[in-house]
Structure 1
Amino acid sequence: MRYSYEYKRKCVELFRQGIIPDVPEGISRDRFLKYLNKWMRLENANGPGALKHNNQHKIWEPDDKLVLVSKVIAGQSISSVAIDAGINEGMLYQWVRKYKIYGYNGLINQKKGRKPMNPKIKKVGTRKPPKPDESEYEELIRLRAENEYMKAEIEVIKKEIALREQKEAARLKAKKQRSSKNSEKMDSN
């Protein structure tokens, strides 16, 4: 459930006066008191503006993240550091986890979204590639001819290998037949 800024301020003021506000429907009393305690700590640490919903997400620099992570590693609780900084505990937990796994590099902001299917292909739009100049065109023709020559060479080598294998197979077959004839002569004696 998302509470409005005015509702949070009203609840905090009532709680400071010693009055426990009415618990909204669909939430337990204990859970609501935890929220209330968190709102009070947030307001004490960062002022009443900390209770407002931020529509804009702040982009944290790796050095700023490192300061908060080092506080947690030094022994402070994640919730107290998060409240002091005015951020979500889950976000700080992720920073600590990434720092423990990847070190400082884990705190560097990464690109978001799905990776491209083929990263080598970049969207160019409607722009056509420039035409090669004369020397590049000649080089292209030379390389294509060289490529065709190499393909033909490879085919010749493959055929030679296949012929050698056929000859070897025929030689082994003949040798096997000779040895079987010799063994038949020895058996008949």
Structure 2
Amino acid sequence: MRYSYEYKRNAVELYRQGQWPDTPDGLSTKAFHITVRKWVRIEDACGPDALRHKGNNKEWTPEERYALVARVLAGESNKSVAFSAGIGDGLLYQWVHKYMILGYNGLVNCKKGRPKKNLDMKKINYNKPRKLEESEYEELVRLRAENEYIKTEIEVIKKEIALREKKEAAHLKAKKRQ
């Protein structure tokens, strides 16, 4: 659920006065109280403008990520470093985890998702085949001739089989008459 800046400021002020704002529908009271406490910590660390919704996400460079990870590895708590930077503690946890496994390379952005389709595949027009090279054309002619030879060979074999069956049937008929 996205909350407006005014709503967040109002909730933080009520918290500081010792009161809780009304819990929105669809949320548990406990989860909402955790969210309000998080807003208070973010406002204390970064100022009231940190509660404003930003139009787009900040792109973190690997150096900036490393600086935050180094603070966590030096002994500061994950949440305090995250709140002071104005990011979620889950995101910082992922960065620390990647750094522990992959080192500095784990902090570098990499492309995600499915690779783009090969645009050359769309350009093939099957109604107009490409011009064949001379070696390809010769091979095509040879394969067509070979194909024709195999087809005629199969026809000859079929005719031989039919003749044998005809002779066999005639032979059986002659035996029955005797």
- Where in structure 2 are the equivalents of 1:2-151 lying within 5 Å? 2-116=2-116
- How large is the RMSD of aligned CA atoms in angstroms? 2.5
- Specify the code of the residue in structure 2 equivalent to 1:42: I
1:131-174 deviation per Cα after TM superposition (whole angstroms, max 9, x unaligned) = xxxxxxxxxx9xx98xxxxxxxxxxxxxxxxxxxxxxxxxxxxx
- Specify the code of the residue in structure 2 equivalent to 1:8: K
Residue 7 of structure 1 deviates from its aligned partner by 0.7
1:26-56 deviation per Cα after TM superposition (whole angstroms, max 9, x unaligned) = 2222222211111011011111111111221
Q: Determine the C-alpha separation between the residues in 2 that align with 1:70 and 1:122.
A: 43
- Specify the code of the residue in structure 2 equivalent to 1:17: Q
- Where in structure 2 are the equivalents of 1:172-187 lying within 5 Å? none
- Specify the code of the residue in structure 2 equivalent to 1:77: S
- Specify the code of the residue in structure 1 equivalent to 2:58: K
Q: Determine the C-alpha separation between the residues in 2 that align with 1:116 and 1:15.
A: 49
Report the count of equivalent residues.
Answer: 127
Residue 18 of structure 1 deviates from its aligned partner by 2.1
**Structure 2 runs not aligned, ≥5 long:** 124-132, 136-178
**Structure 1 runs not aligned, ≥5 long:** 127-140, 146-189
- Cα distance change on mapping 1:103 and 1:35 into 2, 3 Å: same
Residue 94 of structure 1 deviates from its aligned partner by 1.4
Residue 112 of structure 1 deviates from its aligned partner by 2.9
**Normalized against structure 1, the TM-score is what?**
0.59
1:102-138 deviation per Cα after TM superposition (whole angstroms, max 9, x unaligned) = 1001111112331257xxx676x98xxxxxxxxxxxx
**Normalized against structure 2, the TM-score is what?**
0.62
Q: Runs (4+) of structure 1 moved beyond 4 Å?
A: none
Q: Determine the C-alpha separation between the residues in 2 that align with 1:95 and 1:80.
A: 15
Report % sequence identity: 52
Residue 85 of structure 1 deviates from its aligned partner by 0.3
- Specify the code of the residue in structure 2 equivalent to 1:38: K
